[in-house]
Structure 1
Amino acid sequence: MNVTFYGAAGEVTGSMHLLDTGTDRILFDCGMFQGRRKESKEKNKTFPINRSKITNMILSHAHIDHSGRIPMLTGDGFAGRVITTRPTKDALNYMLLDSGHIQESDAQYLNYKSLRSFLRQLEQNNVKQKVSNRERNTIKKMLKKNAYELNHDAIHKLQKEHKLNIITPLYTMSEARQSLGFIDGYPFHYPITIGKDTTVKFYVAGHILGSAFSIVTIKRNNKTTRILYTGDVGRFGKPILKDPTLIFDEEDRDIDLFITESTYGDREHEPVEDLGASLKKVLNATFERGGSVIIPSFAFGRTQELIYILHELYDKAEVPRRPIYVDSPLASNITKVFGEHPETYDKETHEVFLEKGKNPFHFDKIKFVQTVEESMQLTKDTSSHVVISASGMCEAGRILHHLRYKIHNAKNTILLVGYMAENTLGRRIQDLGLKSIEAGNNGEAPEIKILGKTYPLRAKVEKIGGFSAHGDKHELEKIITGSNLRIKKIGIVHGEEAQSAAFAKRLQQKGYDTFIPKPGDKISL
């Protein structure tokens, strides 16, 4: 019996680990790598495991860095089931389709940019072979159907005619839709058979709606082996959701291998109670300058938490009641899923909103933007407002266009409310923006490349760490030392090298046996 670590080993994204019981092969998560476009594309398109040999898959939660390659798993030989919680299954109905849409849209936009650049180069070089000026103008008009819609058929045809490289999506919406038929949702605290004498039971992880600690129990020859996979660990005392589990059922307490994330293995978050005050400070300062607040945010979890806290601030009249736009169709749909699962809410949410007949996620100043036309009009709106848009690490989606239009204006604020992985656009904005502030904003503005074009970063960059859905080093440790679990060995994954190493050392000092696997490493049980 062994576990092999394939993704989020020595890094943060692309979670994927394989349990081989000798009879069955159980996959923990099937996440997408996020980071440098070329590097991520190479990692994502290569599936490291023979899919037809996988018995079943366990999914910890619906974030794309844990679920995003499910359509690749189910599309080639996989005959098993994807086992997860009911809220996660409901969220995946939107998350995976949105991911497929992003894959298609990004590929189409990059193909458009490549073709347009090629045509401009022809003009600059005054090359008239095969393509006349009139033909060039005709071709340009063919690239778009209107101001907001590309002519994909014409672009594809011209790329083939001129033998240009055609970028293809990792998977399509159709393939994502097909994968949904493989997913089953189950309640927490309920043992589910996933292989021969092998079960999984879910416990609340508190990271996002439906996120779960997965305890796999294997019984062989009168011997029982248990593996606990945390997925991502949530915070304690955050609004909306119940805290991570500390008290596990008696029969599940003895853990042979505990596989834990370590995103913030050497960091401390701001106290949860300071989140509203921190957000209030940023909003008031920006509105006083006449600017807008642009918040890159994960559509699932972070957006709903922001809406919740903004709702409280607006109800208490602690900030000017400027319009709030949630510019992400996915976030709108996920907010509906939140509304369908009040059984996951904590006591405070019931007392503050539900018992007073209020919906935590809807109030008069909030608008959910749906169409591309509405989104493009919003990017050009110069009045003060708040925009919450995906993706959270600024790697794709509508947030890129809001940044294009707002990043050069010193009145505006780019508010970062979550973890930015290395080599993402969000991390670059964070590093350059905060460095510029530390230097007193003297000298030329740093430059940021967005969708192939360079912009000066003049907007103020702020970061509120307390919004993170990941537990910090104390909260990660609390699951281990503050729960009723008895743990033999700990595998530390899902963290940058320094974070994982610091967390491993911290646990070793407390007497725990730890190891940090690299991609491809295997541990026997």
Structure 2
Amino acid sequence: MDLSFFGAVREVTGSMHMIDTGHDRILLDCGLFQGRRKETWEKNTSMPINPATITNVVLSHAHIDHSGRIPLLVKEDFKGQVVTTRATQDVCNFLLPDSAHIQESDADYLNYKNARSALATHGKKGVADDLSNREAQQVRKLLKSGRNKLNRAAISEIADRHNLTRVEPLYREADARFSLGFFSGNPYRTPITIGKDMTCTFYEAGHILGSAISIIHYGQGKDRRTVCYTGDLGRFDMPILKNPCLDFREEDREIDLLIMESTYGDRVHESSQDLNARMAQELNLAIQRKGSVVIPAFALGRTQQILYVIHELYEQGVVPRIPVYVDSPLASGLTKVFVEHPELYDQETHKTFLEHKLNPFCFDGVDFVSSVDESMDLMRKPEPCIVISAAGMCEAGRILHHLRYRIHNPVNTILIVGFMAENTLGRRILDLGKAYRDGGGKGEAPVVKILGKEYPLKANVVPLNGFSAHADREEMMRFLKTSNLKVKKIAVVHGEEQASLKFADRLGQEGFKAVVPKAGQKIEV
């Protein structure tokens, strides 16, 4: 049995690994690579394996950097099943079509801008915009149908007329919905046949709703080999979900190769016990400035976690009840999925909310924004408020518009509550904001480009790393040392190169045999 590594190797996004037994090829995750537009297009459209030769996919959880290329896989003649947990299947029913919708919307917007520019310069490259306000309004009217809806037919006609390069989505919503028919949802702790003499058993990973640690057996008797794939390992003692599993069935404990994430393999998070206090502090500071708080957050998991904490703070009366807006059509559907799976909640959530017949995620003052018109009105809202919007790394979606309207004002706060991968807009905002803050906020503010236009970064950029759904270095070591798994070798993946290498060094110091594979590398099990 061989293990090949194709994505999220010495980097974070685009998770994809493959088990090859000679009879079956099992893909572990099929994630979307996120980063610069040109680079992501090339990586995402170039499948390293012929999809028709893949027997099945084992999906660790629903995040797009783990699931987002499944529609592309299906489009290219994959005939197997996507084997995952029941909750992950329920979540993907929302998440994959939404991913397609965001891609289509962003492509439409960029094509609109190109068409508008072509009309503004009369189709002559390099000619300055010489339209009057009235003429500019006429251009916008031509390319839009209604207040915020783009006229695709008119934009397409302009593109043809002026030989403009068109931006295309990786896949469309119809492709995503078609791929959902390949999913098979399964319970935890129940072996599932995934190939000849191959089974997979899921255990709780504690990362997001439905996330799983996968134990894969191949062969019989003395020839049996076992691979454990952590997927993204969650944290201990965090709100809502149960801790990562430490107690595995006896037949699942002997691990020949552990494929382990290392997102935070070189650092330690803020204490989870300080989350409420830190959140209260930043919200109160923004409210005192009469500013708003913009929180880029994944619609799955992070949004519900933020709502949970704000709900607690409001109930305790330590933060004034300013309006909270969740500007993500996806979030309301995913919140319903959370409500449908209380069996995955930890005891604290049951005790704090469910036993009092309270919904942890919905409370007085929360408004789930659905339509584009509502989102545009919220974007221009002058009164202080909290805006939670997707996407979490600020690469796409409605968060881009909230940022471009509020990032230039020093009364506002951009609250970074999750990991920002290299080469994403979220990472640039985080790094530039930190450098500007460390310099005392003096001098000319740094500039970030959002949807093709530059904006000064004057808003307060505040990282709250304690909200991360990824285990940090010490929590990963806790998993290894206190679980009843017996691990022979560890392949360190899903981390930026420095984090992966440092974590592998730490593993070596603790007596574990660890390697950090490179993209395309093969390991024999």
Aligned residue in 2 for 1:260? 260
Measured against aligned partners, the alpha-carbon deviations of 1:33-65 in whole angstroms (never above 9, x if no partner) come to: 011111111111111110010000000000000
Cα gap change, 1:456/1:138 in structure 2, threshold over 3 Å: closer, same or farther? closer
Corresponding residue of 2:67: 67
| 2:502 counterpart residue number | 502
Supply the distance in 2 between the matched residues of 1:218 and 1:127 (Cα, whole angstroms). Answer: 64
1:145 aligns with 2:129: no
CA contact under 8 A between 2:236 and 2:244: conserved in structure 1? Answer: yes
Return the offset for 1:71: 0.2
Partner SS state of residue 185, structure 2:
strand
1:322 aligns with 2:322: yes
2:112 equivalent in structure 1: 112
> 5 Å matches for 1:121-520?
121-122=121-122, 140-220=140-220, 222-520=222-520
| Distance (whole Å) between structure 2 residues aligned to residue 126 and residue 312 of structure 1 | 55
1:17 is paired with a residue whose SS is strand
Runs of 4+ more than 6 Å apart = 123-128, 133-137
Amino acid corresponding to residue 157 of structure 1 in structure 2: E
Which letter does structure 2 place at the counterpart of 1:110? L
Q: 2:19 matched to which residue of 1?
A: 19
Alignment length (residue pairs): 522
1:120 deviates by 2.2
Code of the residue aligned with 1:245 in structure 2: it is C
Q: Quick one: which amino acid aligns to residue 354 of structure 2? A: L
Q: Return the alpha-carbon distance in structure 2 between the equivalents of residues 127 and 457 of structure 1.
A: 29
Q: Is the 8 A contact 2:216 2:226 kept in 1?
A: yes
**Cα 1:69/1:501, change in 2 over 3 Å:** same
SS in 2 for 1:461: strand
Q: Return the offset for 1:322.
A: 0.2
Q: In the TM superposition, what is the alpha-carbon distance from 1:410 to its structure 2 partner?
A: 0.7
TM-score between both structures, scaled by the size of structure 1? 0.97
Whole-Å separation in 1 of the counterparts to 2:125 and 2:169: 31
Give the superposition deviation at 1:140: 4.4
Letter paired with 2:426: G
Bigger drift between 32-41 and 461-470 goes to 32-41
Q: Which residue type is aligned with residue 50 of structure 1? A: N
**Deviation digits for residues 226-275 of structure 1 (CA, Å, limit 9, x no counterpart):** 00000000000000000001111000000000000000001000111100
Contact kept in structure 1, 2:118 and 2:162, CA below 8 Å: no
Q: For residue 118 of structure 1, report the CA deviation from its aligned partner.
A: 2.0
Q: How far, CA to CA, are the matches of 1:322 and 1:374 in structure 2? A: 18
1:83 alignment counterpart: 83
- Point out where structure 2 has 5 or more consecutive residues left out of the alignment: none
3-state secondary structure, aligned to 1:23: coil
Give the Å deviation of 1:146.
2.1
With normalisation by structure 2, the TM-score equals 0.97
What is the DSSP-based 3-state SS (H/G/I as helix, E as strand, rest coil) of the residue aligned with 2:488? strand
Q: Following the alignment from structure 1 to structure 2, what is the Cα–Cα distance between the partners of residues 138 and 512?
A: 67
1:257-303 CA deviation, whole Å, 9 max, x = no partner? 00000000010001111000000000000000000000000110000
How many angstroms apart in 2 are the aligned matches of 1:100 and 1:274? 37
Give the deviation of 1:97 after TM superposition.
0.4
Q: Does the residue aligned with 1:122 lie in a helix, a strand or coil?
A: coil
Separation in 2, partners of 1:398, 1:136: 24
Cα distance in structure 1, aligned partners of 2:465 and 2:480: 23
| CA shift for structure 1 position 184 | 0.8
Structure 1's unaligned 5+ residue stretches are none
| Alpha-carbon offset, residue 475 of structure 1 | 0.7
d(CA) in 2 for partners of 1:348 and 1:114? 52
CA-CA distance at 1:127 after TM superposition: 7.5
The residue type equivalent to 2:208 in the other structure is I
Q: 1:406-434: per-residue Cα shift (whole Å, max 9, x none)? A: 01111100000000000100000001111
Amino acid corresponding to residue 359 of structure 1 in structure 2: N
Equivalent AA in structure 2 for residue 203 of structure 1: Y
Task: Name the SS for the 2:115 alignment partner.
Answer: helix
Superposed CA deviations along residues 282-337 of structure 1, whole A, max 9, x for unmatched, are 00000000000000001100000000010000011110000000000111111110
Aligned partner letter, 1:496 = E
Deviation of 1:222 after TM superposition, in Å, equals: 4.5
How far apart, in 2, do the equivalents of 1:135 and 1:272 lie?
55
Q: Which amino acid aligns with 1:75?
A: K
Offset of 1:459 from its aligned partner? 0.7
Q: 2:7, 2:14 within 8 Å by CA — same for their partners in 1?
A: yes
Report Cα offsets for 1:142-197 as digits up to 9, x if no partner. Answer: 21112211101110122112211111110000000000000010000000000001
1:445 Cα offset (Å): 0.9
Tell me the CA shift for residue 122 of structure 1: 2.8
Amino acid at match of 2:60: S
Q: Secondary structure at the match of 1:153?
A: helix
Q: Percent identity?
A: 57
Equivalent residues of 2:116, 2:139 under 8 A apart: no
The superposition leaves residues 397-456 of structure 1 with CA deviations (integer Å, 9 ceiling, x where unpaired) of 100000011011111000000000001000000011111111100001111110001111
